[in-house]
Structure 1
Amino acid sequence: MAPHSEVENEEDIVRLPAPEKPQMSESPPRLIIIGAGSRGNAYARALGEATNGICAAVVEPIPYKRQALGRAYIWGDGGQPADGQEFEDWKDFVAWEEARRVKQEAGENVPEGVDGAFICVQDELHKSVILGLEKLNIHIMCEKPLATTLNDCIDIYRSLLPSGASKPPQTLFSVGHVLRYSPHNMLLRKLLLEDKVIGDILSVNHTEPVGWWHFAHSYVRGNWRKESTSAPSLLTKSGHDIDVLLWLLSSPPPNSSLPDHLPSTITSSGARQFFNKHRKPAAAGSATNCLSCPHESDCMFSAKKIYAGNDLRGLGSGNTGWPVKIVVPDIEDYVAKGGQAAGEAAILKELADDYDENTPAEEISKKNWFGRCVWESDNDVCDDQVVTMTWDNDDNASAGDGRGPKIAQFHMVAFTAKICERYTNIYGTTGEIYADSDCITVTDFTKPTRPLDPRKEAAFESKKFYPHLAGGGHGGGDDGLARQFVLAIDRVKRGDDLMTAQEEELGCTIEEVVMSHAVVFAAEEARRNKVVLDFPEWQVRLTSLLDKEDNIMCLVRMLLIHALRHGRAQGNTIEEVLQLASQRQDRTVMWIDGRAPILCSIIRGSIDVNIASPSDHLTKAVTRGGELASVMGQLIAHDLRRGSAQDISRLSPHEVSVGIATEEVAAAIGHSRSSLRGGITSQYVGKPNNNLWRKRIQEESEDHFDAGQPYAKTGEAAHNHRGG
């Protein structure tokens, strides 16, 4: 990465000036911003202020947001967008760019295209946008997190590396782990890994103070309040904290040929501790909205105070940016046209929006309710969480190389006065560091400032480092990432090797991106299951998932095992079922009795195949099975109850993810732990060698039925029912 500028020395203090803006090249990189929210605007600003790139176009479905970003960073205030500078949907951009290239090849005069994209849409849309842009072969920077599930991260990995790690990618790729690129953290890594100012690292305590009202805004009322519509808060809020810890503690120093020194164990604890209904003040009564609540004037979480007041960052303080702009995107227009009163009226109108017990859950989850009582919201993410990682002595370890045993603890906490001003204590063999996002204080144990006296507290020489704090977000990390991404694109455009530009400018590969996300998912698994997770063993599972040639856990096979265990399918073994099915024109399985569902139930989150289940439990069992088989959304439980699972026969290869034999899978298919340990379960997990199974999974096929034998919802044609 670009080195810091010259250092200005003072006694016990080192101050570092701002990194210089790169010089514009003859053909500067052109970037499109996909998503004109807070993060899209942050990168658009950084492009102009900190890089040698050009913000060339914007994609945003909300007209006001799209036009505001365009006026600020593309076509200018008072100007109008030219062809190819604004799009409502990313698919419109893809279609336009494909047509532009066709015209260009035909010799027509066309607008310039773009070299890369900043993807800043909602987290759950990242995968579809990345895969959708793949055909354009442009460089991508995706805002963090990469995706909201491990399977989606793996699908993105495969799309970027279709041949696996054996062949390099065709384009640059980065993710919005901006903490790696702040001047503060870049210097911290240098001090630790290159200068060895505290010797080998032994222990780290790192805290992210979210801020009490910031958490209420984003994670109780806002976009990231529910795991089902977003992801765990450890991923959405603190994913780049885990990433920066791995960057400091696992990644080798520059020019090292050693592999990453990954954690040995991971554990986590945390919960939604405060924002629960039982903590609601009695004075609030049955109110669900701040504007109608009798306790509002005394409540620190009052939406009216947070968004319209003057004590925090409300409109009354003169702020029209975040978080006010999140509630009313065009707040500046209201204030410009009607003054402060018009702006406040627009905010209060939005805050008054509420729901009740008759509102469909789908409608509640698909939007934000910024006026909702924080103890009556539908939030379910952790507001306090600790992650502990330990490292064993590495086989390649030698004295002073930092690959010995160590421990790191990360704490994400909502209830703080500080807002995202992270602070870290790092303890080494010869000193310690305290870093607070502004200053890095290094204390050297080898340099006492006075003779040690057992009656007095020891004192040692310390030095303070003050890296430049840029005006952008995350301590200059937004500017830093944008600068390095554009520099990498510029180098590739000028003919430099792509992987060299990726490593030297971005300093992070797609494998490292996936690994840091995997650690977050591993921590969440440890938290939910209340276990200390063996990470090397978990990593074997991850590596297996990343290998495109690895086995597939077939949901059809799993369901047939359920059926066979209870005599619901013709035949007594999988082989007999296959033999009978192969004789049928439509290659389907005949149920013995289509009226009787597979016997399975949900007990404390686990599937029990020995208990007859009501239909809602069957739906949950199918959903759980689909999660384990990584084919969610491909099976309709209602069809299964009717005796048909034909949707499975239509799966194309890219819709089937890999799976491996784990205790969870064994429980789902009714196997004991001894069966798992004995290798029996592994026989039911994988891409079956039988041609019939391969055909049903890999080919687009459809079952055919005689007109006289339609699907039947009752037992009238039970023996004509067919299943997958």
Structure 2
Amino acid sequence: MIQAALIGAGNRGFYAYGSYALRYPHEIQFIAVAEPDKEKRNKFAEAHGIPESRRFADWTELLEKEKLCEALLICSPDRDHYKPVMQAIEKGYSILLEKPMSPIPLETLEIAEAAEKHQTILTVCHVLRYAPFYQALKEIIDRKVIGDIVSVQWNENVGFYHQAHSFVRGNWRNSQESSSMILQKCCHDMDMLAWLIGTECKSVSSYGSLTYFKKENAPEGAALRCLDGCKVEKECPYSAAKWYLHDRDEWPANVITADSSLASRLKAIQEGPYGRCVYHCDNDVVDHQVVNLLFENEVTVSFTMTAFTKDICRHFKIMGTKGEIIGNDAKNELLINYFSGQTEMVHPATVKGGHMGSDTKIMADFIQRVNEKNHSSLTSARASAQSHMIAYAAEESRVTGKTISLEEYVANLKKEKAETV
């Protein structure tokens, strides 16, 4: 069994990774937590039996101590990753780091370099690589049953209510406070595409905007908050009452307050950010975006992220020289159409846990690597930094309207770093 500390006891830290220790207490035990929100901090600590002396209001208090345990999980907000991870590397912790590594490209490169320099076990939470569904897809591609990949169509269907919860009202609504949509939400997709295709991305172009979730689209009679006499609340698909006052044990109702009682949830939407009208928030991240990617060997990718879907899923078509793969991760289906006329439907094995079981699988993999002192990782800092660069370049293209060469983009970052040293 390994011992671990947690920085950031929010949804990912508490439910995705912390819950693993409650299900498999013989594998991992949390002995310390750092979380500024007192309710969240105490809720996590009480669930894991952490004493008062190991409950910290700030991550700096945890990391100023002598090394407490073998492993550290960093699940704090996007802009609070760089400093704690760099200090944790220096202290010799094995680290599980929530994505994105940092909203700042240079910081991401520095994290990767520091992890390699200190031979740190550092796993970045690009969890989809660990999902049985996507591992089965990777195995099919690597067997070349559809020949060589030529082109890919890939859709990230965020879902209308997920967009409203996380990217209009929630923690990732504003790029200046967190990060861009293409990095925060879709670095998973950029990472998956790089991993599945298996060659270097050469250039990126992108278009997208915040089109719908803004004040000029508010229906007549809409109030600033859903429960402040809004005349259209009953028929609004984004009503906070619909999403947060029912199914208290289900996401997203179970994450708007540490106490999931009806009274606490009602207070949260009367006073907190999740009760705001979706047309009257301080959001600035896009609600739809397309990215075109050119990989080595002339492989082309067309990627679409959109808020405007009923279901939350990824679906795709991967087209090769001998056949095509059509997939939908929500349905757990991979349809292989061979050009010979044969078809094959694959339903990969499933595992309990979030992100199609990948939250469970990444924790199991991380614990095994810590036990074995195995410094390699499927989502190492270096591999993850490379796919992060695609996301950064996509946002650069969206903002400037230019096609971005990945090689030039990274070279300019390294030049900028050298000039600041």
TM-score (norm 1): 0.55
- 1:533 match: 404
Q: Tell me if the contact between 1:390 and 1:407 (Cα under 8 Å) persists in the aligned partners.
A: yes
- How far is the alpha carbon of 1:212 from its aligned partner? 0.3
> Does the residue aligned with 1:151 lie in a helix, a strand or coil?
helix
User: C-alpha distance in 2, partners of 1:502/1:155?
Assistant: 18
Of 518, 522, 525, which residue of structure 1 is paired with 2:389? Answer: 518
- How far is the alpha carbon of 1:129 from its aligned partner? 1.2
1:439 aligns with 2:320: no
Of 276, 281, 292, which residue of structure 2 is paired with 1:388? Answer: 292
- 1:62 match: 37
Report 1:653-672 matches (<5 A).
Answer: 656=420
> Does the residue aligned with 1:283 lie in a helix, a strand or coil?
coil
Deviation string for 1:318-357 (max 9, x for gaps)?
33343223322212xx3xxxxxxxx1x433322222xxxx
1:43 aligns with 2:17: yes
2:300 partner amino acid? I
> Does the residue aligned with 2:342 lie in a helix, a strand or coil?
strand
- How far is the alpha carbon of 1:119 from its aligned partner? 0.4
> Does the residue aligned with 1:186 lie in a helix, a strand or coil?
helix
Deviation string for 1:101-153 (max 9, x for gaps)?
xxxxxxxxxxxx41111100111100121123233211111100001111322
User: C-alpha distance in 1, partners of 2:126/2:99?
Assistant: 6
Of 285, 297, 301, which residue of structure 2 is paired with 1:408? Answer: 301
- 2:59 match: 90
- 2:237 match: 300
- 1:427 match: 319
Change (3 A) 1:525 1:389: same
1:71 aligns with 2:41: no
User: C-alpha distance in 1, partners of 2:415/2:23?
Assistant: 43
User: C-alpha distance in 2, partners of 1:89/1:122?
Assistant: 13
- 1:227 match: 175
> Does the residue aligned with 2:336 lie in a helix, a strand or coil?
strand
- How far is the alpha carbon of 1:391 from its aligned partner? 2.4
1:188 aligns with 2:125: no
- 2:265 match: 347
User: C-alpha distance in 2, partners of 1:372/1:199?
Assistant: 50
1:274 aligns with 2:203: no
Change (3 A) 1:87 1:291: same
Q: Tell me if the contact between 1:434 and 1:440 (Cα under 8 Å) persists in the aligned partners.
A: yes
Q: Tell me if the contact between 1:59 and 1:87 (Cα under 8 Å) persists in the aligned partners.
A: yes
Change (3 A) 1:203 1:277: same
Q: What is the number of residues matched between the two proteins? A: 416
- How far is the alpha carbon of 1:85 from its aligned partner? 4.5
User: C-alpha distance in 1, partners of 2:144/2:217?
Assistant: 48
- How far is the alpha carbon of 1:182 from its aligned partner? 0.6
- 1:210 match: 158
Of 123, 148, 159, which residue of structure 2 is paired with 1:174? Answer: 123
1:136 aligns with 2:136: no
Q: Tell me if the contact between 1:47 and 1:482 (Cα under 8 Å) persists in the aligned partners.
A: no
User: C-alpha distance in 2, partners of 1:151/1:170?
Assistant: 20
Report 1:12-51 matches (<5 A).
Answer: 28-41=1-14, 42-49=16-23
- How far is the alpha carbon of 1:38 from its aligned partner? 0.9
Change (3 A) 1:226 1:82: closer
- How far is the alpha carbon of 1:526 from its aligned partner? 0.6
User: C-alpha distance in 1, partners of 2:386/2:139?
Assistant: 22
Change (3 A) 1:509 1:329: closer
User: C-alpha distance in 1, partners of 2:350/2:39?
Assistant: 31
> Does the residue aligned with 1:297 lie in a helix, a strand or coil?
helix
> Does the residue aligned with 2:216 lie in a helix, a strand or coil?
helix
> Does the residue aligned with 1:370 lie in a helix, a strand or coil?
helix
Q: Higher Cα Rg: structure 1 or 2?
A: 1
User: C-alpha distance in 2, partners of 1:56/1:346?
Assistant: 28
User: C-alpha distance in 2, partners of 1:196/1:130?
Assistant: 38
- 2:203 match: 265
Deviation string for 1:136-193 (max 9, x for gaps)?
21111110000111132233234434xxxxxx53311111100111111111111102
> Does the residue aligned with 2:356 lie in a helix, a strand or coil?
helix
Of 254, 276, 290, which residue of structure 1 is paired with 2:226? Answer: 290
2:43 partner amino acid? A
User: C-alpha distance in 1, partners of 2:352/2:54?
Assistant: 27
1:488 partner amino acid? R
C-alpha RMSD of the superposition: 2.0
User: C-alpha distance in 2, partners of 1:486/1:122?
Assistant: 23
1:213 partner amino acid? Y
User: C-alpha distance in 1, partners of 2:128/2:53?
Assistant: 32
Q: Tell me if the contact between 2:34 and 2:57 (Cα under 8 Å) persists in the aligned partners.
A: yes
Q: Tell me if the contact between 2:204 and 2:291 (Cα under 8 Å) persists in the aligned partners.
A: yes
Higher strand share: 2
User: C-alpha distance in 1, partners of 2:242/2:80?
Assistant: 32
- How far is the alpha carbon of 1:475 from its aligned partner? 0.9
Q: Tell me if the contact between 1:32 and 1:58 (Cα under 8 Å) persists in the aligned partners.
A: yes
User: C-alpha distance in 1, partners of 2:225/2:56?
Assistant: 36
Q: Tell me if the contact between 2:137 and 2:334 (Cα under 8 Å) persists in the aligned partners.
A: yes
> Does the residue aligned with 1:502 lie in a helix, a strand or coil?
coil
Structure 1 unaligned runs (5+)? 1-27, 76-80, 99-112, 162-167, 251-260, 309-314, 335-342, 354-367, 393-403, 447-459, 493-500, 553-655, 658-724
Q: Tell me if the contact between 1:46 and 1:472 (Cα under 8 Å) persists in the aligned partners.
A: no
> Does the residue aligned with 2:357 lie in a helix, a strand or coil?
helix
- 1:18 match: none
Change (3 A) 1:214 1:154: same
Q: Tell me if the contact between 1:307 and 1:323 (Cα under 8 Å) persists in the aligned partners.
A: yes
User: C-alpha distance in 1, partners of 2:52/2:239?
Assistant: 45
User: C-alpha distance in 2, partners of 1:328/1:300?
Assistant: 22
- How far is the alpha carbon of 1:534 from its aligned partner? 2.3
User: C-alpha distance in 1, partners of 2:266/2:280?
Assistant: 19
Change (3 A) 1:328 1:53: closer
Deviation string for 1:384-435 (max 9, x for gaps)?
011110124xxxxxxxxxxx2211121111011112x211211111011112
User: C-alpha distance in 2, partners of 1:406/1:159?
Assistant: 32
User: C-alpha distance in 2, partners of 1:132/1:169?
Assistant: 12
- 1:449 match: none
User: C-alpha distance in 1, partners of 2:333/2:293?
Assistant: 25
User: C-alpha distance in 1, partners of 2:23/2:136?
Assistant: 22
User: C-alpha distance in 1, partners of 2:391/2:372?
Assistant: 32
- How far is the alpha carbon of 1:512 from its aligned partner? 1.8
1:118 aligns with 2:118: no
- How far is the alpha carbon of 1:296 from its aligned partner? 1.4
> Does the residue aligned with 1:184 lie in a helix, a strand or coil?
helix
